[in-house]
Structure 1
């Protein structure tokens, strides 16, 4: 008699195979949904695409697919959307951030009253605002969200914006400069040397 490998003795529950088939069907439905979303929502009805019944069983909300989207990053938006997003950002910065968190500007803590003309400031403040929207809602983040927002988002954002090398470095009280960090000429290593 040959040596048999040590195989643990256990019985597979009867319902396990049925459960596995359900998991496989749900996975196939979710994979098809992800593929559809990657293609921009244009469904071709291919062989790997799940039916609407499979999506419903997998917990997919077919009629809500196009309604919910990730918040846009402001610098990637075109003109009308950018203007709307900037308007909302200005309301938050001027209504919440400035009165609640910004003291009088100083040499160590700069601030520009025309912050919305500095693209770096707009990008950082927009990211901070998106995080604030998510982390101040107890339904989505619990009660520790505001603490996480202060530690992980607000404090680093203000340190970068108000620091001596931040976007407001050239702005002093009463004077506003946008292009103060742009180089005037291209460094010689980047220029072509003409013979």
Structure 2
């Protein structure tokens, strides 16, 4: 009951989550220290392995740990930044990016375009937009996984990645500056209808 927050205190909920994370890390470190202390005591009392054997065990454990880290790196490789790719890898990555932008970003975060908040339904034809949106997507993939970033990852993603990217993209001087006038306006749409050029390829 002592761990429960006092309802009278006006403390952000995120702070309690941070405290819980710190408690878990502290408990893990305490367990590690206890295990190491037990090994030292056993060795001092003559019940442990000799120095040579302990060294070999340590080297073996280090080797296993290094192999585990290598395996983990091989299992997950961060995708490269899209502007570094050539076709057909670029095309594949762009398709995946379009699915994320049109499936997550457009319906969830974009209001109706205006002079102060521009958007182009052909955003994927603007290299600057592709670069900024791909960077935001890479960050989203990393920061929405609680295993790698805890509970604060999504908040960090919104603050440090999404909000600045949308400010730059939708500004009157951004890459869509010419998309509310001239020939660009003809084919534009309100966010909500998703253009999927390749989905109509069979038609």
State the TM-score, normalized to the length of structure 2.
0.57
Q: 1:148 to 1:102 in 2, by over 3 A?
A: same
The counterpart of 1:120, out of the listed 113, 118, 128, is: 128
What is the deviation of 1:174? 7.9
* Number of residue pairs the alignment of both structures matches: 133
Which residue, 75, 91, 106 being the options, matches 1:83? 91
Give the SS at the match of 1:129.
helix
Q: Is 1:106 the equivalent of 2:114?
A: yes
- 2:103 alignment partner in structure 1: 95
**DSSP 3-state at the match of 2:169:** helix
Specify which structure has the bigger relative contact order, considering alpha-carbon pairs within 8 angstroms and separated by 6 or more residues: 2
**Residues 115 and 60 of structure 1: is their aligned pair in 2 closer, same or farther, counting only changes over 3 Å?**
same
Instruction: Supply the RMSD in Å over aligned alpha carbons.
Output: 2.7
Within 5 Å, give how 1:133-152 maps onto structure 2.
133-152=141-160
Q: Distance in 1 between matches of 2:122 and 2:71?
A: 42
Q: CA 1:149–1:65 in structure 2 vs 1: closer, same or farther (change >3 Å)?
A: closer
d(CA) in 2 for partners of 1:92, 1:107 = 25
Counterpart of 1:33 in structure 2 is none
Gaps of 5+ in 2: 1-39, 44-50, 186-203
Tell me, in whole angstroms, the C-alpha distance in 2 between the residues paired with 1:140 and 1:63.
Answer: 17
Distance 1:64 1:116, change over 3 A: same
- Does residue 1:160 correspond to 2:157, yes or no? no
In 1, Cα distance between equivalents of 2:181 and 2:161: 26
1:56 matches 2:63: yes
| Deviations 1:83-120 (CA, angstroms, capped at 9, x unpaired) | 11100100010011000100000000000000000000
